[in-house]
Structure formats: structure tokens, C-alpha cells
Amino acid sequence: MFLVRTYLAPSGIHGLGVFAGEDVAAGQELWRFTPPVDQVLPHDFVAALPPAQRAYLETYTYESALFGPGLVLNGDHARFLNHARDANTDNSGAVTLAARAISKGEEITCDYGICCEGFDPGVYG
């Protein structure tokens, strides 16, 4: 769950994006896995869902060895984080940090190649 104020707005990267609702200092903690808001959904649970529910989860979840087997579902704006190879966050650990200062109103991005197992860079560039 985000540890700083955020909001959703149209993104120049893709659809909606997450934007900083306050200035964020370099190195500041931005996000932390926070159950029960954030969850890891078992693969067999997802497989048993109706097609519309599975499609939603295929869009808004990801696999990460940091949080155990299954699909990570962020319960807040974090599910709308967009990919950037030059992301302004460091999401290489269990807590996401600001890789540099992020200004209020700036889109917050992450590198899917770091946090999402099976990420295909050909899809996002």
C-alpha cells in the first residue's frame, strides 16, 4: 500500500497512472506490501474464477518471489503503476523506494522487469 499521497490521472505512458500527491524525497519509502489491503491470490483460486474475473486479475496482478507463490493484488492505486525502464522508483526489494526525488504531480513509475516475474519487455518497451 502506498505510504505517500497518490492520485489517479490520465497517463502519457498508458491509460491511467499513479501520480504523486506530495513531493517525495530520493530514498523515501513509497510502497510496502500491507495485508489485508494487498493480497497474494493462489493460482488455483484465480483459475477457478469466471472469465471476466480472471481477465481483470490478469491485468492488475503480478507474480513476485518477494511475496510468495501466487498473484499479487495491490488494493490501492499501486495496481495502476505504469512501466518505465528509467523508473523513478526502486522496486528491487520488499519496500519500494523513490529512486530520485519525485515532484508533486509527477507520474510514479516502476520497472516491471524488476518486480514482475515473467515480464516480457517486448510488450512494454
> Hey, what's the cell of 111?
520497472
Task: Identify the CATH number of the domain defined by range 1-33+76-116.
Answer: 2.170.270.10
Q: Torsion angle, CA of 73/74/78/84, rounded to 10 degrees?
A: -30
Going from the C-alpha of 20 to that of each of 16, 41, 45, 62, 82, the distances in angstroms are 13, 28, 33, 22, 13
Neighbours of 8 (CB within 10 A): 13
If you ran DSSP here, which 8-state letter would residue 106 be given? P
Neighbours of 44 (CB within 10 A): 8
Q: What are the residue boundaries of the structural domains of the chain, listed by start?
A: 1-33+76-116, 39-73
pLDDT for residue 50 is more than 90:
yes
pLDDT tens figures, 74-100: 999 999 999 998 999 998 888 999 999
**Which band of pLDDT confidence, cut at 50, 70 and 90, is reported for residue 66?**
confident
pLDDT for residue 7 is more than 70:
yes
Give the residue-averaged pLDDT of 53-66. Answer: 91
pLDDT of residue 103: 98
The whole-angstrom separation of Cα 63 and Cα 84 is: 18
Is the pTM above the cut of 0.75?
yes
pLDDT tens figures, 9-48: 999 998 899 999 999 999 999 999 999 999 999 999 999 9
Neighbours of 41 (CB within 10 A): 14
pLDDT of residue 124: 53
pLDDT of residue 122: 61
